[in-house]
Copies of this chain bind each other. A is one copy, B any other.
Amino acid sequence: MTVAPPVIEKLRDIVGEQRVLTDDSAFQQYGVDRTTIWQPAPGVVVLPETTEQVQEVVQLANAEKLAVVPSGGRTGLSGGAVALNGEIVIALDRMNKVIDFNAVDRSVTVQAGMITQQLQEFAEQQGLFYPVDFASTGSSQIGGNIATNAGGIKVIRYGMTRDWVLGLKVVDGSGNILELNHGLVKNNTGLDFRHLFIGSEGTLGIITEATLGLAKPPKELSVLVLGVSDIPSIIDVLKVFNDGMDLTAFEFFTHNGMERVVDHSEVPTPFESEAPCYALLEFEQTSEAELDRAMELFETCVMEGWVLDGVISQSLTQAENLWKLREDMSETLSQWKPYKNDISVNVSRMPEFIARAEALVSEQYPDFEVVWYGHIGDGNLHLNILKPDELSIDDFTVRCSGVSKQIGALVEEFHGSVSAEHGVGLLKKDLLSYSRSAAEVALMQQVKKVFDPNGIMNPGKVVDAI
């Protein structure tokens, strides 16, 4: 499918000659996310600068019955920003300005194309803190974060992106500009559509501006890495530390994952001895007493036999190095072309769930190596199946989607989520029914139709249009 020349002309009238791209390199750049499964094939890429330009493009798309794919930082892992069928890609890259900041309200209003890291830096310059943090903050955009309700490594303390959105400006699928919640703390005036757009993955409309809350910066952060005797013990360790102090992070990874990170990078092992798995904890060192408290809790865990060894950061550099053991995991593993699962269950059920999932994978797929890591303090696991060298990528993918369905059925049994933080996009559509009932899926389709009557917004993502 291509976009007809007169439409291209109209797009140029809206956003300007230079901001309409039709060459293949633009399609390869703007028409895809971090997934590598699909070959992008949009019809045109436009780079608007204002909400009004986005509105005009959406109105034109409605008139011409052309599909639209919103494109943010393209760091998604579920194909939510992939354009496959001659769509108009609306890339937010040029909408990256701070519109307003208010120190009393501790809020900032930005255009949706602002890079997450830029927002973090802006907050820091104001003596404040934007706490949603994850590996791809250097490329991901705020609008995309909101459209996928991004999580990351500080959720245990600060929640998801959803918890920081005070207001949104969006262009819905009909071309209406909606200003949702105006940055207010309290506003009980009927249905809160702000929360409907958060996590909607571009299927209802395009987020063009956001008002975000900012936090006070944390005090000095200490990082603790513990060697843990087995996966169930990790949950015991979590309970002890969670009850005894306030954590800002609680992550985990298995030994085979850490080994690869250490081999692959300059990061030293945390300590001499080897453990089956590791917990990474972070807390604010508000006082000397807090450090003593952490040591006490550590000793409790050692006495119980849950923890085998441990190290605490003595400097910022050491803290950063310890974090790298966890943060470099995804990139390190990418050379094994891992098949990723991003699942969650209630934290309390995690030991039982992991035991069941491990048994399932090792029985059914004994030739597969699995690396587990994730935000275990939030009940969120990334199960990564590494491709055996001898298996072709196609065969591997086919076999893994078999695993995914079995894992999906297990997630369903545990009332868990088949996509804890990566969203559904194209990649998880087949798995959606394991987490959402048929009635819910039908309601999603109908609600999409309300906001996007012609079904032009990011078609084929999450659910099919009706």
Contacts and interface: CB of A to CB of B under 8 A. Distances in A.
Interface in A120-157: 148-149, 151, 155
Given A193-B443, A444-B190, A344 B185 contact: yes
A378 interface: yes
B432 A189 contact: yes
Interface size band for A: 35 or more
Contact of A346 (B155, B183, B346, B347): B183
A100 to B, nearest CB: 10
A384 interface: no
A448 to B, nearest CB: 8
Interface in A154-208: 155, 160, 162-163, 172, 176, 178-180, 182-193, 195-196, 198-201, 204
A416 interface: yes
Contacts of A424: 188-190
Interface in A287-312: none
A380 B185 contact: yes
A104 B235 contact: yes
Contacts of A201: 190
Interface string A306-348: 0000000000000000000000000000000000000011111
A184 B416 contact: yes
Contacts of A163: 163
Contacts of A148: 188
A185 B347 contact: yes
A102 B379 CA distance: 14
A445 to B, nearest CB: 9
Interface stretch (A22-30, A41-49, A396-404, A434-442): A434-442
B189 A437 contact: no
A263 B11 CA distance: 69
A116 interface: no
A123 B450 CA distance: 40
5 contacts: A102-B346, A179-B415, A184-B416, A190-B463, A191-B200
Given A189-B418, A195-B196, 15 more contacts: A149-B188, A155-B186, A180-B440, A184-B344, A184-B345, A186-B417, A186-B421, A187-B435, A188-B417, A190-B201, A191-B204, A192-B195, A193-B443, A216-B243, A446-B450
